[in-house]
Structures are given as structure tokens and as C-alpha cells.
Copies of this chain bind each other. A is one copy, B any other.
Amino acid sequence: MGASKTEHFSDKQNQIAAMAKAIGHPARVAILEYLLSVDTCICGDIVNVLPLAQPTVSQHLKELKNAGIIKGSIEGTAICYCLNPDALSVLEAFFAHITININTKKTNCG
């Protein structure tokens, strides 16, 4: 096989998984942190910040965009990228919900 059986899971579960998967690569974590470190959008120097070739960076940006984590808009020759607050707040809520509920329960095994 090799393909996930997404049809067996809820839309919410698939959405969380898709976004987490998009962040599941150190280059893409680095992109998020970089976009967060500067004010608003970044127009055209993400490639220089990462230790990867331009096509590879372009591919990583595409995946983040497909998952809705970042947004991009054409600005002349360059493209401006920025974080998508909506997507990130969904993830934030998901993990906040988990940690809050863990703490209200008995401590665990292991």
C-alpha cells in the first residue's frame, strides 16, 4: 500500500493530521519560525535562509500552503508569504485541549 486510509477517519482528524504532517519536517518548522520572527509577510528571501536548494524550498513552501499553514501572494517578481492564523489556531486549540485534559486526569503509565 503506502496510501493512508483517510476515508475511515473524521474530517477533523484528517485536517489535524494533514496540518501536523505539513509541519513534520525541520525545514518547514524553520520556515514557520522565520515567518514568525519577522513582521508580517516575507517577500522573497526564504530561500537564502535555508540550507536547501531553491526547488526544494519551493516544494516545502507548497506543502505548507496546501495544508493551509501559510498563505502567499504575488508581489511583483517576488512572492510574499505569511502565516495563516486560522490554521495555526486550530492546531493550537487541539494541543491546548489535550494538555488541559491530561492535567485534569490521573497521572499515567510508563
Residues of chain A at the chain B interface (Cβ within 8 Å): 4-6, 8-10, 13-14, 16-18, 20-30, 32-33, 36, 39-41, 51-52, 71-73, 75, 80-85, 88-89, 91-92, 95-96, 98-99, 101-103, 105-110
26 contacting pairs across A/B (C-beta < 8 A): A5-B52, A6-B26, A8-B26, A8-B51, A9-B27, A9-B29, A13-B30, A13-B33, A17-B23, A17-B24, A20-B21, A22-B24, A36-B102, A40-B107, A41-B108, A41-B109, A72-B110, A73-B109, A83-B108, A84-B108, A85-B99, A85-B103, A88-B98, A88-B99, A91-B95, A95-B96
Instruction: A26 to B82: give the CA distance in the assembly, Å.
Output: 26
